[in-house]
Amino acid sequence: MQNLFSILRLSYGQKLFLLATLPLILAVAAISMLVANQSRQLAEREIRALEAQLIEAKKAELKNYISIARTAFINIYGRAAPDDEAAKLAVTQILSSMLYGPDGYFFVFDYEGNNLVSPRQTYLIGKNWRGMTDLNGTEITDPLIQIARSGGGYHSFDWTKPSTNETARMVTYSVGLQDWQWVVGTGIFIDDVLESVAAARADVEERVQRTSVYILGITFAALLLVFASGFVITVRERRLADTKLKALTQRVFDAQEEERGRVARELHDGISQLLVGVRYALDSARRRVNAGDERGLQSLDKGIDHLSSAIQEVRRISRDLRPGVLDDLGLGPALKVLTDEYAARTGIHVAFKTVVFRNRLDQESKIALYRIAQEALTNIERHSGATEVTMDLRGHKRGATLRIADNGHGLPQDNAPAERVGLGLRNMQERVEQLDGTLRIFSSRSGTVIVAEVPLSHILTPETEGSDKSRKARA
């Protein structure tokens, strides 16, 4: 099951492609179904109208045939008596000879169901066909007699086609000779109409399928276009991301090398010289003690002083790398120590203000804001030429804000080398972005203001009663 889930787990690019293509596929499928359904309905209405029109034309043709037949025997029928057998024989002979087309003929039944005329199917003559039905169970003879009794009308059923000896749909029109109680009628096969209708339906279905193929082709082309566009954008974004990653990696390496160089310089210029002085002082003290010189104690005291200075220097470097007061007391006291030492070392006056936080900053925010303050003070010392700095740290409803301002000559203009201060500002920007915060920089010839804001999500809830009271004082 886990293997199945791992297979079904999609990458970000695949999810994006699926999100872009799935609505398109669903929309195209819905449109295709709607178009096919509407086309079929419209075509079906037209086909039915065509079928009705053709059948009506056939029916009108049948009525014309009956009119012609009546004209042929009306004089005989009109002068004959109901039992005039000679007249009846003459009429049957006339109707038997009236053939048209390969399948057209006239038929005659009496009201009892006996067949009197059937020139193309003579085996029907002289037999009673009451109750006769076609292959589908549709009654034939009885409805014809009923229609004739009522004056005349149409009736449809399946019948054997004389020219092909195959069963086909037939439409008949019959009238009654009431004096003789005869059914006189004729029929016409409409299989050609049904074939035309079936061909029209097949043509419509073919056009619907062809339209569906066109829509599918257009959809496939659109998907290819989306895929190609997404591929191009993905490749471009990946290249940009790789470029940015390389630049970021290089900046990280540069920052590491710069920090290593700074620590190396401080170790060489500070601790190394102090330890060398300690060694010389101890060597001098040893020689003087061995020689019985009373100045040996002075040399020993001097070595101890140098060693104390070295210890203080180690503590300072350690504090710069990771101040212990930041973990022990919080951000506010750590920044206070940082600004006091900065003012003492550089001679730049620093006014630091803060308020007691109602909530506490989490560890990431404390480190980030402390490093931003360090970086800002370093830039001020190296580049701004400022004589006064103000630093303000406070919490509020939206989170926490660190504001640093100086009275220097501001950041360099666009034509100045941006790399002089660019790395430090980028480091500050990246630290704030890691916290989902914002960094704003306002610079002019009268000074620079840096405002770093941390969102409320990085403020921890107040500590409960009974916890370490010293931790409540942390910023």
Q: Are 225 and 53 in contact (CB under 8 A)?
A: no
Q: Which residue has the higher pLDDT, 112 or 257?
A: 112
CB within 8 Å of 420: residues ≥ 6 apart = 383, 412
390 CB-contact burial (10 Å; exposed 0-12 / middle 13-18 / buried 19+): middle
- Indicate the pTM of the whole model: 0.45
Taking only the tens place, the pLDDT of each residue in 405-430 is: 999 888 776 544 444 446 678 778 88
Residue range 112-124: average pLDDT? 92
Mean pLDDT of the chain: 82
Phi–psi pair at 177, nearest 5 degrees? -100, 95
Which architecture characterizes domain 15-189 according to CATH? 2-Layer Sandwich (3.30)
Residue range 35-60: average pLDDT? 86
Q: Where are the domains of the chain?
A: 15-189, 196-296, 322-472
| Rounded-to-integer distance, Cα 378 and Cα 404, Å | 12
Taking only the tens place, the pLDDT of each residue in 431-471 is: 888 888 889 999 888 889 999 988 877 777 655 434 444 44
Q: CATH topology for 322-472?
A: Heat Shock Protein 90 (3.30.565)
Q: What is the pLDDT of residue 396?
A: 79
Q: Are 158 and 136 in contact (CB under 8 A)?
A: yes
